[in-house]
Chains A and B, each alone.
Chain A
Amino acid sequence: MVERRHLLDVDDLDREGIERILDMARSFAEVQRRPIKKVPSLRGKTVANLFYEPSTRTRLSFELAAKRLSADVLNFTASASSVQKGESLKDTALTLEAMGVDAVVVRHPVAGTPWLLRKWINATILNAGDGMHAHPTQALLDLFTMRERMGNLEGKTIAFVGDILHSRVARSGMKACRFMGMEVLAVAPPTLLPPVAMEGVEFTCDFDAALPRCDVIYMLRMQKERQQEGRVPSIEEYVRFYQIDAGRMGRARPGAMVMHPGPMNRGVEISSEVADAPYAVMTAQVASGVAVRMAALFTLLGGAEGGDGIA
């Protein structure tokens, strides 16, 4: 059996590996500007999107990335498949393997599922989000977006704001930002912070005090169910202390930018005014997604099997 390469979390890359993918993503961003946006590099390869959670944007982004590399794409979503008939994840994975897929892009509500797939089948696994755990391509496209705007990220400060405890975007993002030499803050009410500090991340509950240090303010989606779980007393109270609005933006570093993984809750974690402002880069994030995922797919599937690309 050949040794496969995988992208399960940003740990699978070091800083050099991240930079190589980001550099390559620039080239793929250029491909996106060509009249014919499709290149033949993954012709004959098959990529399966295995999505156990509804996610239009990530799935479309991966699908477009694979198709623009000329790979064939199979879409397997939980609602439209045998999952409802009770087929186990393992049997589904073995089915995909029997069909000869080269890569499985997996999103699943349970943390660790991509690691199980790696153990069970011989295909390249890309993690498109597992539970509260990891979302490496989101972290990469966020770094790409930041680097295109700010250049070198070393020494810059980013604050992740909101439901850190349940956020895979924050988990992978904070790690990736640390790799790039950034200062990382986690800002949330105490009930939405992890129970223990994470390595190299400064926890604080005081958004207003943190703002003057921030070059990047990364807002996380606030799920309404957190209020039902009793983790915040009310959405109103959350908004009062943790929403990014024009007033708070005025206290951030000059030139600071606002990011959000989408979909946004306007009027909850982000005011409409901020969401539509030029310093909010959400559309750039989405645009980077395809190029970064092309770079990831190409790095994992483009070269010789058993090469030294990733993990």
Chain B
Amino acid sequence: MAFRERTRVMDADDIRRAVQRVAHEIVERNKGASNLVLVGIRTRGVPLSLRLAKAISSIEGTEVPVGKLDITLYRDDLHTVSTPVVRETHLPGDIEGKNLVIVDDVLYTGRSVRAAMDALMDFGRPASIQLAVLVDRGHRELPIRADYVGKNLPTSRDERVKVALTEVDGEEGVYIGEEVG
């Protein structure tokens, strides 16, 4: 199936400003960045988490450790995927007692975040887990909400939201569109 875009709802500048704002909110809420670890969910959560880390370090002047998480093994919809591929998970050291921020591009049903939390719990017991997303499009199926949202985007269930990031897609933008084919 292919994606046909209808509307561009964020451009490169919008994304940059959203990342910047979320970085400030994270610092404010956590009273600094000293005990923070950012964890990006593969695929597009990873570059977003790196961007956030860079923004936070330019605000606070400290390096924020960043990890990447593959949630394939924890997904509850594996039986619908014809050929699931498992990629590497890498966390920067022990997460015991840390304040983790899970970073993803789109928050939708909440199932990916549930899988990510289950996965992280298997690595240790963090002090807290927070959630940062670029876009929240609604339609939750689990009692999960984001702590930091770049943009709230009301959608219908038949619509699709596509996030493009330079590191992965070679361009920047957030689009609403639909499946075709």
Contacts and interface: CB of A to CB of B under 8 A. Distances in A.
Contacts of B122: 34-36, 38-39
A307 B84 CA distance: 9
B17 interface: no
Interface residues of B, number: 23
Interface string B77-89: 0111111111111
Interface string A181-216: 000000000000000000000000000000000000
Interface of B: 70, 72-75, 78-90, 118-119, 122-124
A305 B90 contact: no
Interface in A272-295: 295
B86 A308 contact: no
Contacts of A307: 81-83
Contacts of A41: 72-75, 78
Interface in A58-72: 69
A40 B83 contact: no
Given A35-B122, A303-B78, A27 B83 contact: no
Given A24-B86, A303-B82, A303-B83, 4 more contacts: A20-B85, A41-B72, A303-B81, A304-B81
Given A40-B118, A41-B72, A34 B123 contact: yes
Interface string A300-311: 001111111100
A41 B86 CA distance: 11
B73 A35 contact: no
B114 to A, nearest CB: 11
A298 B86 contact: yes
